Amino acid sequence: MKPFFLRRSQLSLQNKVFLTFVALLLFILGCFIVYVNLVVIKPLKEKTVEAKLAAVTKVSQQLDDYVDSQNQMSQRILSSKDVFTILERGYQTDANLERLNQSRRLKDLMFQAIGPRMNIKDMVIYDKAGRKIVSYIGLQGDAASIEGYLKKSLIDGSWSGSGYVLERQGGAVSFIRSINNQNGTVFGYLSILLDNAYLQRITQGVGSGQVYILDQNGQPVVGDIPKEHAELTTRHSVDGVHVDDHGNYVAYARSESTGWTTYLVTPKQDVLGPVNSVKYLSILLITALMLLSFVYIYFSSRSLLLPIRKLRSQIWRISYSNMNLKWDNPTQNNDLILLNEAFQDLMERLQASIEREKIALHEEVKARNSALQAQIAPHFIHNVLYLISIAAQEGKTDVVTDMCKHLSDSLRYIVSSPYAHVTLADELEHTRHYLSLVQQKYEDDLEWEIHTDDSARNVQLPRLVLQPFVENCIEHAFIHRDPPWRIEITVKQFNGLWAVEIKDNGDGFPPGKIDEIMDNLRKSEAADGEGGERPASIGNMGIVNSVGRLKLMYQNRLFFNLFNQADGEKGATVQIIGSLTKDFY
């Protein structure tokens, strides 16, 4: 029978260890609760409210940047003395040719100012009386003049004519400024119709709240104000956050430059939801931790006393014969070391898998580029050989010799490193060979010009991307057009962008053809993104392939457009605009 004093001392020691750990745990948990409430939850609530104010301030700043970009765009137009010369001569309403030349020159100035960025709906130039002279796109059909606004602003003094003004006209906002020189002489007015879709995109992605923009008169700039938020029409002179009658958090920021006020209305639950989640999660975590800790302490105290209990057992069994018996505690494996080794092994295998995936993706892009180029090269060789055969049948020996030389240069260009990129200058030289070959057939009926400079050597392109556009002009544009037929290729480079324009004086694209080609391009891009089959269409396969190869190289740094000439001109224009850097429109 075990001595009573030994059992009592054992139980007393176990209880002391257990109670000591419990007291220490309760003290730590109490400190943790105080820390969560004072250091985490309260600052988190304040930070959440500040984040709403920062979000609405950011939206307001983006609106200021957007309006400032229109101001800079208008300054670029005013920096050209040509616009003063054109407007000073007066709009030639009686001479159709002079009026057409004036409109064309003004549109060229607007194009140089806008560039490839089209984050506006339209741009209009008016004379001093407010009558419309020219529109860049022609969407402002209901705003043919601003005579009424000029008279109204002079009467009520809302605008003196200096600087710029933001005026809501119909369902959109217009940026209006006077066209004047350094002496203050007014030659006309410039109006930029802001893009409502672009303004809507600025207000999106701000979180769960609703963004509203009011002008200096308390009228909504984009969209309408719901009835439950009618109190937003109250003007605020400073930035801040308040709670409305419905319990919503309203953050507002007023722009000093535009006078617009941006509101971000967020339901109370969305603002305090993360704070309450942290609070409730902390309470749940503390409760669970206490329960687990009590269980752990109980079994840990038993484990801590296990050597003592084993020693007591050994003492009761010891005798003279086994007095030299020793008890050894077995060594346990270090599970953390094993887990770390397994994790490192997992990371190494994951890294190797990523490298294999990158190599496979690179090979896939090269294979697709090669396949697209292979579809174009045989087609080009077939057409040229057909032209040479016709010249040979007509007995034109000199012409055949000259064409063979051009063909030899073209074939050398095609087969030498066919998968490597070339410069724009090399591609234009190949286009000259191709047009020289084609001109042997059409003789004086075909005229062509290529305008370029040394900047073309800085632009990299896939091989044979310009030829399909030129070939499309010859095969389709001049079918119902009397000669002379003219093709003009122009290369420009400005502000880190390069542009290639291919114009002809043919019949232009028939109705619906441009939409069909652009739709095929969109389907081709969608098929590339989903791994599907690329759509093909007879008559525009070369355009789809060429644009597809350019997209493979430039991704989202490429802009492609094609349109028929306006203002009475015949023919069509193909535009290819790319960026030499990673930044694009």
Domains of the chain, first to last? 14-268 (3.30.450.20), 357-527+538-579 (3.30.565.10)
pLDDT at 6: 40
Is-contact 544 521, C-beta < 8 A? yes
Check residue 448 and give its pLDDT: 93
Take residue 296 and report the two structure tokens written for it. 């752990």
In sequence order, what are the residues at sequence separation of 6 or more whose Cβ sits closer than 8 angstroms to the Cβ of residue 130? 145, 146, 147, 148, 149, 150, 189
Residue with tokens 């994951």: 350
**pLDDT for the residue 585:** 42
pTM of the full predicted structure? 0.42
Instruction: Let me know: does 143 contact 149? Beta carbons within 8 Å.
Output: no
Neighbour count for residue 427 (Cβ, 10 Å): 22
On the 0-12 / 13-18 / 19+ scale of CB atoms within 10 A, 581 is exposed
Per residue in 426-443, pLDDT (tens digit) is 999 989 988 888 887 788
Is the pLDDT at 535 greater than 60? The verdict is no
Using 50, 70 and 90 to split pLDDT, how confident is the model at 367? low
Res 503: pLDDT: 94
Give the bridge partners for 240, in sequence order: 252
Which position has the higher pLDDT, 514 or 232?
514
CB-based contacts of 430: which residues, under 8 Å, 6+ apart?
410, 413, 463, 464, 466, 467
List pLDDT tens digits, range 324-347.
Answer: 544 454 444 454 456 556 656 666
pLDDT of residue 464: 81
Exposed (0-12), middle (13-18) or buried (19+): which is 81, by Cβ within 10 Å?
exposed
Question: Quick check: 264 and 56 in contact, CB under 8 A?
Answer: yes
4 has a pLDDT exceeding 50: no
CA end-to-end distance (rounded Å), the chain = 92
Residue 364 amino acid letter: E
Range with lowest mean pLDDT among 44-58, 97-111, 180-194, 370-384: 370-384
Q: Are 449 and 460 in contact (CB under 8 A)?
A: no
Residue 255 scores a pLDDT above 80: yes
Which is higher by pLDDT, 152 or 139? Answer: 152
Residue 265 sits at φ, ψ, to 5 deg, of -100, 120
pLDDT 10s digits, 6-36: 444 444 555 666 677 667 767 777 777 777 7
Which is it for the CA torsion 512, 513, 519, 522, positive or negative?
negative
- The larger pLDDT score, comparing residue 518 to residue 330, is at 518
Q: How many CA atoms lie within 13 A of 537 on its CB side?
A: 16
Contact predicate 107/134, CB 8 Å: yes
Q: Can you give the pLDDT at residue 16? A: 65
Q: In 522-542, which positions are buried (b, 16+ CB within 10 angstroms) versus exposed (e)?
A: ebbeeeeeeeeebeeeeebbb
